[in-house]
Amino acid sequence: MDILAKHLGINSQHLAILESAFTHQENVDSVALEEVRFLLDTARFQEMDTIFVKAARDMLATLPVLAETQANPQRIVISYDELKKFQEYRQQLDNLSEQILQIIQECQESAFLPHSLIEEAKEVWEKNQSQRFRLAVVGEFSQGKSTLLNALLGETIQPAREIPCSGTVTVLKYGKRKRVVCLYKDGREEEIPFDEYQQKASISEDAAIDCLSDELAQSEIEELIFEHPDLELCSSGVEIVDSPGLNEHPERTAITQKLLANTDAVIFLTNASRPLTEGERNLLHDLKVHLNGGKETEPANNLFVICNFMDLIRTEKGREQIKQRITKFVQGENPIISGVNRVHFISAQAALDAILAGKEDEHLQDFRKFTSSIENFLIFERGLLKNQRSTNDINNLIQKTLASLNQAQNTLEGKIKISEVETQKILEQIGEASGRDVKIRLIAENIKEEVFTQAIESWKDWYEGLYQRMVDKSQFWYSEHSPVWSQDKLIRDYTNQFIRNLSEEIDKWGNEKLKQVILREYVEVLDAHIEYELDAIQADFKNLDIETKSNFSEQLKLSINGISDDFMGFAGIGGGIGIGGALAAALVVFTGVGFIAIIVTSVIAAIAGSFGLGMLDIDGIHIQIKSKVLELGFQKFEESLDKVADKLSEIIDTVFDGKVESASRVIGEAISLYENLLEQQEKVHQETLEEREADKAWISQKYQELYLVQNNLESIIKV
């Protein structure tokens, strides 16, 4: 045995372990067995041809299994006490928003408030009710994302194995009962049995090794939602989004955009055995740009970089080199991230083992430092900002309600009287306000038509030189794989680089032409029209205030101030990645979802069968493969061009309709104020003196309730 081991150049104890796999021996050296398992870890062979991954997997399956020691029933619970305290604070704000809603509902039913105010109160209440921290976990396949999530949750929830596993976006959240909801791409939604969850969340082992892109592209599942009442982090007010590996995902741009929608923090995982590959560095750059609103040169402050599998690095020198490499890239001259405690070095599996075994060790300590940094970020850098917005919304509601109740009381006391002439004038102003709304909509439609025409012309000009620009970029495509021994991986690398370069080109057009030139000019035109019409309505209210000694203009001013002054800065466009990036990303998503999945599969098949790969002219082989990728890539791209106009129209509608709806809402509130004034006047004329006195007493009671809510809000803020 020793002679054979020496001849083969391997450890004799390791050879004995391999022999035991064929002789079915059970009495083996446990240390040697673990070393062999480490050496055959399929993650170590991911950069090689799939035949090596299969061989390693098959060998691992034949190795003897030692009897597992009984797990310590006293598993460690990773607690998030500060987050729980913060959620209690949030709950107090939720309660106050609910109290405000109830008061406004009662006042509106008695005709003391305009009907638009109750809609606003419902929106504030719903927003507070649904507010949770959202934490996304991102990275390439086989970096331990699922294991990290299991460690964060303190329970084996997510499927995990050595080869690519997660196949779809999965959202883990708190729920009153344990259940799984499957959302399909065709709009269907169904609750599935819990025992089907891990099967639905995973891709098959064969696909993970051979045809990953095929299965990802063919999946019918849009998203899986996992609800659980007892997961410590989720019950502390955090929703966790687990992404499929993005390095080979055919819908990478679409997935990334979905992940970042309303995300508070992103955790990016890399593998200590091969930290920050070229693909990972590109992905990190994309994440940075998305997270900071499309700014290429500014770092993101809500991006955490986690180096996993540190327990596999056996030397202190090796660990130090890895730390220096990662830190230099993400916090160097052109930093990817900013902020304190954004980089961590852990072993998710070792930490999970320690949690389940109830054993404190260095891996668990490193993991606690990581969870503590996440907790502090969510509370102090995200949570306080969310709470400030909530308190501003509640305060705004209180001020509007007090102003309307004051007007109602003045009407009851006879301080506000509307003559027949003034009533007729108010009715005319209601008609004028409606007309201004229609005018804004007509102007917006005309502008959208002009923008669409210019966008199509600009797109055509951009497309004319696209092929040559892509040819130029292809000269810099690079792959470590051999066209002879790892042909499929080489083709996939070039295909991914074609997709990336094409996405960059579309992104550049979207930012530099569509947004900065065409859209910006016409949005400013629409803004000027909206400002003019709202100023006219505000002037009418000021005149009404003078005539009736009321405060309508101040009430309307609160609503007008609610319109964002940012360029196209309306919520819902781009899902938090910035309007400029969203416009470009939306176009990339459209073209990508239509053909990227097909490229990843059909290009490989077409290239593999289109020419023979000789052994002599390696450079010539690379050139042929690049040429074929370009040819088939453009073929698929051109097949989708007839849909570009539809997507451009959708993007343009989204931008301008958001502006129009915001203006229309303010105009609707103005009309509601007018109508409520007339309604109060009619009510006063019909009521007896006793009824008016009862109404005044009732309003006084509501005043006290509002002041109590206001005082409670101030007390919460001071804590």
Q: Predicted confidence band at 5 (pLDDT cuts at 50, 70, 90)?
A: low
What is the mean predicted confidence (pLDDT) over 82-109?
89
Task: Give CA–CA dist 234/592, Å, rounded.
Answer: 33
Residue bearing tokens 């109060």: 680
Which of 147-151, 457-461, 501-505, 715-719 shows the highest mean pLDDT? 457-461
What is the mean predicted confidence (pLDDT) over 249-253?
48
What are the tens digits of pLDDT across the range 45-86?
544 555 555 666 667 667 776 544 344 457 777 888 888 888
Mean pLDDT is lowest, of 222-231, 518-527, 675-684, 697-706, for: 222-231
Task: Give CA–CA dist 416/410, Å, rounded.
Answer: 6
pLDDT given for residue 533 in this prediction: 92
What is the mean predicted confidence (pLDDT) over 191-219?
53
Looking from the CA of 148 toward its CB, the CA atoms found within 13 Å total 33
3-state secondary structure of 172: strand
Could you tell me which residue, 15 or 341, shows the higher pLDDT? 341
pLDDT given for residue 386 in this prediction: 85
pLDDT given for residue 314 in this prediction: 82
Instruction: Say if residues 538 and 644 touch (Cβ distance below 8 Å).
Output: no
Task: Give CA–CA dist 93/717, Å, rounded.
Answer: 10
pLDDT given for residue 519 in this prediction: 87
Q: Taking 80 as the threshold, does the pLDDT of residue 321 lie above it?
A: yes
pLDDT given for residue 323 in this prediction: 92
Which of 38-42, 345-349, 643-647 shows the highest mean pLDDT? 345-349
What is the mean predicted confidence (pLDDT) over 650-671?
89
**pTM recorded for the entire structure:** 0.70
What is the mean predicted confidence (pLDDT) over 205-211?
42
Mean pLDDT is lowest, of 111-125, 354-368, 618-632, for: 618-632
Task: Give CA–CA dist 114/109, Å, rounded.
Answer: 10
pLDDT given for residue 160 in this prediction: 45
**What would the two tokens of residue 645 be?**
């106009």
**What would the two tokens of residue 369 be?**
């430092």
Q: Tell me, what DSSP letter sits at residue 642?
A: G
DSSP string, 118-164: HHHHHHHHHHHHH--EEEEEEESTTSSHHHHHHHHHTS--S---SS-
Which of 21-35, 38-52, 123-137, 503-517 shows the highest mean pLDDT? 123-137
Q: Taking 80 as the threshold, does the pLDDT of residue 350 lie above it?
A: yes
pLDDT given for residue 231 in this prediction: 79
What is the mean predicted confidence (pLDDT) over 247-276?
72
Q: Taking 60 as the threshold, does the pLDDT of residue 692 lie above it?
A: yes
Q: Taking 50 as the threshold, does the pLDDT of residue 499 lie above it?
A: yes
Beta bridge partners of 139: 269
Q: Predicted confidence band at 371 (pLDDT cuts at 50, 70, 90)?
A: very high
Task: Give CA–CA dist 160/334, Å, rounded.
Answer: 34
Q: Taking 60 as the threshold, does the pLDDT of residue 563 lie above it?
A: no
Q: Predicted confidence band at 3 (pLDDT cuts at 50, 70, 90)?
A: low
What is the mean predicted confidence (pLDDT) over 561-566?
51
The mean predicted confidence, pLDDT, of the chain is: 78
Please state the length of the chain. 719
pLDDT given for residue 567 in this prediction: 37
Could you tell me which residue, 572 or 103, shows the higher pLDDT? 103
Q: Strand 303-308 relative to strand 265-271: parallel, antiparallel, unpaired?
A: parallel
If 0-12 CB within 10 Å is exposed, 13-18 middle and 19+ buried, where does residue 377 land? buried
Domain range annotation of the chain: 2-62, 90-131+382-415+688-719, 132-359, 418-686
Q: Taking 70 as the threshold, does the pLDDT of residue 610 lie above it?
A: no
Listed in sequence order, the DSSP H helices in 612-688 are 618-639, 644-686
Q: Strand 189-192 relative to strand 343-345: parallel, antiparallel, unpaired?
A: unpaired
Q: Taking 50 as the threshold, does the pLDDT of residue 592 lie above it?
A: no
Instruction: Say if residues 629 and 603 touch (Cβ distance below 8 Å).
Output: yes
pLDDT given for residue 603 in this prediction: 57
Could you tell me which residue, 683 or 249, shows the higher pLDDT? 683
**CB neighbours of residue 371 within 10 Å:** 19
Q: Taking 60 as the threshold, does the pLDDT of residue 189 lie above it?
A: yes
Could you tell me which residue, 341 or 196, shows the higher pLDDT? 341
| % of the chain residues with pLDDT over 90 | 22
Q: Taking 80 as the threshold, does the pLDDT of residue 427 lie above it?
A: yes
132-359 under CATH 2.60.40.1180, yes or no = no
Residue bearing tokens 């990190």: 284
Instruction: Say if residues 645 and 76 touch (Cβ distance below 8 Å).
Output: no
Rounded to 5°, the CA angle 286-292-297 comes to 70
Q: Taking 80 as the threshold, does the pLDDT of residue 525 lie above it?
A: yes
DSSP string, 374-427: HHHIIIIIIIHHHHHHHHHHHHHHHHHHHHHHHHHHHHHTTSS---HHHHHHHH
| % of the chain residues with pLDDT over 70 | 74
Instruction: Say if residues 293 and 309 touch (Cβ distance below 8 Å).
Output: no
**CB neighbours of residue 129 within 10 Å:** 11
Instruction: Say if residues 49 and 486 touch (Cβ distance below 8 Å).
Output: yes
Q: Which helix (H) or strand (E) holds 184?
A: strand 179-184
Q: Taking 60 as the threshold, does the pLDDT of residue 42 lie above it?
A: no
Beta bridge partners of 135: 240, 265
Task: Give CA–CA dist 511/577, Å, rounded.
Answer: 13
